[in-house]
Structure 1
Amino acid sequence: MSEVLDNLLYSEEHEWAEGQGRIVRVGITDHAQHLLGDIVFVEFPEIGAAITAGDSVGSIESVKTVSELYSPVSGTVTKINDALEASPELINDQPYSGGWIFELELEGDFADAASGLLNAAAYRELVGE
C-alpha cells in the first residue's frame, strides 16, 4: 500500500504539490515511484521557465521505463532539487521529503492555483487504496 499524505494535493498524473504562499514544491507520489521502480535519472524543468498546469516539464527514467513529469500547477520554475542529480534514488526512498523535484512561484495564491487538484482522500480513491 502506497503512502498518501493528507497535507498534500495530488494530480491525476501522480504528482504532488505542497504550497506555502506563492511557492509550490512538486514531486511524484509514492504510488508513482513504486510503479516506476528504481529511478536512475531525472530530467528537470529549466529554472526560469514559465509552465502551465498539465505541461510536460521533464522526465523520470527508471530501470523499467521513462515517464513524463507533469506540472500540477502553473507558475515559474525557481528551483530544482540538485541532490537528485547525484542521487535520483531519493525519489524512491523519500518521495515526499528529500525526493522533491522542483519548486515554482505562482502568480496568485496556492488555493486558486491548486483548485483542480485532488485531496488525499480523492487520490487514494484514484489509485484504489
Structure 2
Amino acid sequence: MKTTPEHNKRVAEMKFFSVWPHYVTKIEKKGRTIEELYQVIEWLTGFNEKKTQKLIDEKVTFKTFFERANLNPNAHLIKGVICGYRIEEIDNPLTQKARYLDKLIDELAKGRKMHKILREV
C-alpha cells in the first residue's frame, strides 16, 4: 500500500516515549501486563526491558528506535490491517516496522495467546 511522504515523515519523527504510555494503557486496560509488552517488543526488536527504558529516557524517534533494532527475521509473518493500512503492502520500510509494532500490541490487547503473537510455529 502506498503511504504518503508526509505520513512516512510523521511516523519517522514520532517520539517513542510519547507513544509508550498509550501502549501501556492499551494493554493494561485489557488485563495484559507490562512484562508481556516488553516481551513483545524484545521479540520484534531485540530490545530487552532495560534497553527499551533507555530508549524511552533518550526520547528517541521511531526512526532512531528502528535503526537501532535487530528486527526479528519472522517479522514478515505479521500480517493484517492496522491504522487503515494492510501491513504487508506498506511500501516504506520504517512505516512498515512501526505498524508491525502496532499490530503486535493490538494483538496483545485483544487477548491473543503469546505464542501466536510471537509467530511461534
Length-normalised TM-score, structure 1: 0.27
Length-normalised TM-score, structure 2: 0.29
Structure having the higher helix fraction is 2
